Amino acid sequence: MIGYIRFADRLSAWFGKTFGWLIILMTFGMSYEVLVRYAFNAPTPWALDISFIMYGTIFMMGGAYTLSRGGHVRGDFIYRTWQPRVQAAVDLVLYFLFFFPGILALVFTGFKYAGRSWGYAEVSVNSPAGIPIYQFKSVIVAAGLLLIIQGIAQVFRCILCMQRGYWLQAEDDVEETEQLLIKQAAEAAAKAQR
């Protein structure tokens, strides 16, 4: 189980971080749009659609990574007061009652939408540029499959927690800026005391 959890965490992290780079492309695209719109009075017909597509892709492809790091929303005001074994048991039940049925519905429905969209080479109706969006609809299926892979890893985490009494944490890969600053300040204070 631990091997599968590590595999799923690494896979989710790779996809999440890789697609996260789209934020730079989106920033450049929107900056270009602002420049030509306001400096040259020549707005582009594609900027809105491209920003929607890129942001939607980032959001969806980062879902499994967020799940692996415990970043999705939950009712922590009650949940955090429970013992880890109780948390794991409740999570396990909720994964089978809500998570997997919801994600399977996303995958099957997304597959239907993507297939139809590819069949007639769907383009966006929101702009005169006619930006193709059929490839974006395929992201729905890919994101759903990644969530299923990561969801199985989360179920394994629940089982291990119920057996051991503590949560198997994901490997460290990024650190929040404020946590990094706190750590640096503590290290600087420790050096100053020496």
DSSP string, 37-78: HHHSS---SSHHHHHHHHHHHHHHHTHHHHHHTT-S---HHH
> CA 29, CA 127: separation in Å to the nearest integer?
16
Report pLDDT digits (tens) over 136-187. Answer: 999 999 999 999 999 999 999 999 999 999 988 887 777 678 888 888 899 9
Residue 64 has pLDDT above 80, yes or no: yes
Residue 111 CB burial class (10 angstroms; 0-12, 13-18, ≥19): middle
- Write out the DSSP string of 70-83: T-S---HHHHTTS-
Which residues are within 8 A (CB) of 53 and not within 5 positions of it... i.e. 6 or more apart?
131, 133, 136
Q: What is the pLDDT of residues 93-117, one digit of tens each?
A: 999 999 999 999 999 999 999 999 9
**How many Cβ atoms from other residues are within 10 Å of residue 144's Cβ?**
24
